[in-house]
Amino acid sequence: MRRLTLGLLLATYLCLSLIVALTLWRNGSGWGVSISALLGGLGLCLASHGMIMRFLEMRDLRAEVEAVRDAHKVLLDQVEKIDGRMGIVARAIDADLTRNAELTDEVHMLEDLVHKMSRRFEDRPLGTQTAARGAPEANPATGMMEIVREALAENRVDLYLQPVVSLPQRRTMFYESFTRLRDPTGQIIMPAEYLAVAEPGGMMTAIDNLLLFRCVQIVRRLATKDRQIGIFCNVSIASLGDDDFFPQFFELLRANRDLAPALIFEVGQSAFDARTSVQARNMGKLAEIGFRFSLDKVTDLDLDLQDPSRSDVKFVRVGAQNLLDELTDIGERLVLRSMPDLAAEDFALLMRRYGVELIAEKVESERQVVDILDLDIKLAQGHLFGEPRAIKDAVLAETGPPPGRVVQMPQRMSAQG
């Protein structure tokens, strides 16, 4: 395009010069004057052409400079966007590092608590360990005591989870956690076996510590997957009143208040009713930082609902069959034997008015589900919806302590559903 323009301009200049020369010649000027005029016109036209070309080149140059500036601005914008994204990535990495540091602190604190409880038990005189239970040779409970102590010392404690589902959708809303100890051969020791010696032996706090450790790991794991599912974590009322355990336990939870919506502490009804003022005060401290409680092993349905409500008890577990066995007819009304003045279908509604949700546990049949739904119960648990299953090694390993810190994890775990 530039060459065509140049050719046209030169042809125009030549035509103008010829016109001027011919005009002079026709007006009587000689050939010399005409040729001189022609050459002068050509020179003038060429000079003008040079100026025009420089002008065009300067214009093109300015256009290129503007294009470079625009490209530079676009590049700066892209660099700023990349810098912003890098900042987001850096903050995410910092957050992950902070979370890992917090988790490491949790692991260390819980490990220290477990070791303290183990040392406390080991430091007790042999006579006090076997007092009121007879001599070691005469009482088989002593052998179980030693198995339990070794299981705690060697961290042979597994975490099992069982789903708590909503009705009638049967969607998993919570999990209840259970501990299972293993003897040196890998055989599972059920709670009915080890609780009989662990509670009088002062080892429940150590078991609670390990259970809490596992629950914290699972809560962290679920949080990374954006799964808003809570876990019921059993804790003995004795642990809530333990002068060594509770202060560190409370500081750990206060530093991790983000766990509060997903971690619910569970105590038995009889232990809750018999709690001391110290234990009640410590439960209040946990409630103040957002943690909730649940009552299980409920046998007396005639509850003073104001008392659980004041203690931030938000869930009450009742065996499904025990609840159905409480039903009786009075006249044309279906009521609970322990609460004859209240219609049976209003019992769950009454609890909700106090901020307490009823959970029917140990549901084994579809017939029980139908009867439970008639009582307007929204949450249920039992083998019908899923058996307790052990957690995979991989799940705990992904949230476990960093290398170099010896916190042995259970070696034998099956798949989680």
Please write the tens of the pLDDT for every residue from 278-305: 999 999 999 999 999 999 989 888 888 8
CATH number for the domain spanning 190: value is 3.20.20.450
The total of structural domains in the chain comes to 2
Q: Tell me what pLDDT residue 29 has.
A: 60
- 141 with 41, same domain: the answer is no
Which pLDDT value is given to residue 350?
A: 92
Q: Tokens 């991989």 label which residue?
A: 394
DSSP conformational letter for 400? S
pLDDT at 405: 33
Query: 83 pLDDT exceeds 80?
Result: no
**Per-chain mean pLDDT for the chain:** 76
Q: Based on the fold, state whether residues 68 and 177 are members of the same structural domain.
A: no
Residue among 273, 276, 277 nearest 304 (CA): 273
Residue 249 CB partners (closer than 8 Å, separation 6+)? 113, 212, 239
Mean pLDDT across the stretch 191-197? 75
For 276-308, give the DSSP string.
Answer: -HHHHHHHHHHHHTT-EEEEES-------THHH
380 in the same domain as 269: yes
Checking if the pLDDT of 154 tops 60, the result is: yes
Q: Does some domain include residue 116?
A: yes
Instruction: Please indicate, yes or no, whether residues 74 and 212 belong to a single structural domain of this protein.
Output: no
pLDDT of residue 111 exceeding 80, the answer is no
Domain region containing 21: 2-82
The answer as to whether 103 is a domain residue is no
Mark whether 249 and 311 lie in a shared domain.
yes
The top-scoring range by mean pLDDT among 34-38, 69-73, 404-408 is 69-73
| Helix-, strand-, coil-residue percentages of the chain, each rounded to 5 | 55, 15, 25
Q: How many residues are listed for the chain in this entry?
A: 417
Task: Give the pLDDT score at 386.
Answer: 92
- Token duo for residue 43: 């020179």
114 shares a domain with 60: no
The residue that leads in pLDDT, 97 or 336, is 336
Give me the percent of the chain exceeding a pLDDT of 70: 69
Same structural domain, 233 and 197: yes
pTM confidence score = 0.63
Which is higher by pLDDT, 202 or 126? 202
Same domain, 112 and 77: no
Q: Say if residues 380 and 165 touch (Cβ distance below 8 Å).
A: yes
Chain segment 234-293, per-residue pLDDT in tens: 888 888 888 888 888 888 888 878 888 889 999 999 989 999 999 999 999 999 999 999
